[in-house]
Amino acid sequence: MAFFKFLSDKFNLALLGFISLFIFIPFLESQAISFPPLPFIFLFIFILLFRMLSLPLRPFLELLLLAILAFCLDLLLIFVLNNFLEGVLTVVIHGMYAFCFIACLWILVKRFHSSDMKPHDLVKMGFCGYFSIGFLWMVFYSLAFAFNPRAFSGLFLENVRFFYFSFSSLALLIPSSQLISMSFWVKYLVLLEALAGQVFLVIFIVRAVVLYRSYETER
């Protein structure tokens, strides 16, 4: 009963969902799967984010429809045999994913400064935002690969591409020797991801300190 009460909190549910994905995605990469898991992963993430952010009805429906459309097109991509059409659809689909992530991150950062935000909810939202940056850059790296397959060298795991590469770059770790960025633009993307992660952390920590101080003062 206490567990269901814990999950009824939208911030707890979102944080638990992101942590679960972070733990289980590496296992998905090592398994032989007959369907692409990435569309389901992204749709799950968007549902968590939309619920956590408590969006107004119109932007909620617009983003939800966009996420569902990207999900459906991503699944249909399995049946596309024409290479040109597959490339075009890949760019369109990942563009939709990127737009949804950027919109959610923009709203999330604005919610940091909400007057009714509680300190513990801010911490959970901050962790979810940081995870979202890693998933967003997975989309960017996939776009770079769609435009130029030679942008990367190394071995690729087919189930969830760029998961380890994106999060190791976000955490300022050295990417795997099996996946080495070759293109100038990919190296630029890696630098931008590292910078975006650090800027987000600075904004989050500053806001958390201010909010905790004001919360203690009010008490």
For residue 94, the model assigns a pLDDT of 94
DSSP letters for 49-82: HHHHHT--HHHHHHHHHHHHHHHHHHHHGGG---
Query: Alpha-carbon torsion 138, 144, 146, 149, what sign?
Result: negative
Please, which residues bridge with residue 152 across strands?
181
pLDDT at 169 over 90: no
Q: Which of 103, 133, 129, 117 is nearest to 194 (CA)?
A: 133
pLDDT at 175 over 60: no
Domain positions in the chain: 2-218
Confidence of residue 218 (pLDDT cuts 50, 70, 90): low
| Strand 179-181 versus strand 152-154 pairing type | antiparallel
**pTM of the entire structure?**
0.90
Q: Which of 111, 182, 195, 176 is nearest to 153 (CA)?
A: 182
| pLDDT band for position 130 (cuts 50, 70, 90) | very high
Q: Is the pLDDT of residue 98 over 70?
A: yes
Confidence at residue 190, expressed as pLDDT on a 0 to 100 scale: 87
Which residues, in sequence order, are CB contacts of 188 under 8 Å at separation 6+?
Answer: none
pLDDT of residue 149: 77
Q: What is the pLDDT of residue 208?
A: 87
Does the structure show a pLDDT above 80 at 47? yes
Flag whether pLDDT at 196 surpasses 60.
yes
Report the chain's mean pLDDT, rounded to a whole number.
85
Q: Mean of the pLDDT values across residues 132-158?
A: 81
What does the pLDDT read at residue 162?
A: 82
pLDDT at position 177, please?
Answer: 44
* The pLDDT of residue 170 is above 70: yes
